[in-house]
Amino acid sequence: MKTIHLPYDKKTLKVDVSDLHIKALLTPQHQEEGSVINESELVKRALEHPIGTKRLSEMAEGKDRVVIITSDHTRAVPSGITMPLLLDEIRKGNPSADITIIIATGLHRGMTREEMIDRFGKEIVEREKIINHDAFEKTQFVNLGTLPSGSKCEINRIAVEADLLVAEGFIEPHFFAGFSGGRKSVLPGIASQECVNINHSAKAIQHPMSATGVLDGNPIHEDMIKAARLAGLACILNVLLDEKKKVSAAFFGDVDQAHRAGCAHLLSSCGVDAAPADIVITSNGGYPLDQNLYQCPKGLDAARACAKEGGVIILVAACSEGLGGENFGRLMLSAPPSQLLESILATPPEKTISEQWCAQRFADALIKYDIILVSQGLERSRVEQMNFIYAGTVEEALDKALALKGKDASVTVIPDGVGVIVRRS
């Protein structure tokens, strides 16, 4: 019997799986004991060795209005470590710089003061100018031109008009942008609702290159990197996180070069071979990414790469904030998966409804697999209305899965579904 711990909210849930069933346990490669360097030191080294740019302190010289883009409450960016170092580096080059921190909410809600304190620390919240981006406030955008998708590149005016634009973030596998981080700070981070919608259109999401671990040829990435360039994003500081959400590597420099260096490093450590099985157990990585169901296609993507045709996927996610976006919830509850997917695929890019992309991925998965959802944040009736199978515990979910696939069914476990990139044959 193998005991496996699955990230869930700010804790873990355990499940015992018989050795007779286990096909594979897919996890990132772990660092060797003694190889871990102090997190702050890793970030300092990155800032001291820029990739494709000058040092940030040099870039800040003579730049009076500086804007730093940072991630919102749904991302595990260790800003308590990174933000003070960024601020110090900027003020080393220009002690009198007027600095604004913009929280890249994309289409999410803004961060509360309590969440800001938890993310940045009380001193930074009280001392620095911090604002939430609002994708729905049409007057705050500048149209910078046309993106490859045909969308207008509408970006937050405060960022565009800065003398120096910087972004911080972290890199993890992303189920349609290839990887998170880098250029995503601008699009969708501080773009208009309309710009995000077209970038995330059904056509773009359905493209075969819009997949985990893919940048080249990915139409969603191509829009994003173009938007970052048009916005004048001078540099990024992106980190990689281990399974304990600790900084394991850091990269600073050009928005494309530094990001690709981080992506290559991540791929070398979290790439795993597919292990096809009748049943796949996974999670959405725990807090903060499993706060709502809207974010959960990310963890589901790795499981899909390992589930046999007609297989069962067990998805573990706390969903403490419920379904997530209003449009996402309405869509998920509106129709059976096949009808929902047909409707979304018939929607032209310019008519894209915010949040339809995650409903699209769920609908497609629900057509192909039985998905058992383990979540204490959602009521059974709501889970079943969305065509998932409800389970109160992972043990109950596994029992239901074995009942569906037989007592000899094989099981692959991916404890953190957003922490690996499954190499598909």
Q: Is residue 313 classed as helix, strand or coil in its secondary structure?
A: strand
Yes or no: say if 174 and 183 are a contact pair by the CB < 8 Å rule.
no
221: annotated active-site residue = no
DSSP state string for 221-282: HHHHHHHHHHHTEEEEEEEEE-TTS-EEEEEEE-TTHHHHHHHHHHHHHHEEE---EEEEEE
Q: In what order do the strands lie in the sheet with 277-283?
A: 22-25, 411-414, 277-283, 307-316, 370-374, 389-391
Yes or no: say if 283 and 70 are a contact pair by the CB < 8 Å rule.
no
In 3D space, the residue among 207, 231, 196, 162 whose CA is nearest the CA of residue 345 turns out to be 207
Please tell me which residue in 21, 73, 174, 259 is annotated as part of the active site.
174
Yes or no: say if 273 and 423 are a contact pair by the CB < 8 Å rule.
yes
108: annotated active-site residue = yes
Pairing label, strands 22-25, 411-414: parallel
Please tell me which residue in 21, 73, 108, 259 is annotated as part of the active site.
108
Q: Is 11 exposed, middle or buried (0-12, 13-18, 19+ CB in 10 A)?
A: exposed
390: CB partners within 8 A, 6+ apart? 372, 373, 380, 383, 384
d(CA 364, CA 367): 5
d(CA 188, CA 198): 10
**Cβ of 67: how many Cβ atoms within 10 Å?**
26
In 3D space, the residue among 231, 246, 247 whose CA is nearest the CA of residue 104 turns out to be 231
Which H or E run contains 193?
helix 193-199
Rg (CA), the chain: 21
d(CA 282, CA 316): 6
Known catalytic residues are 108, 174
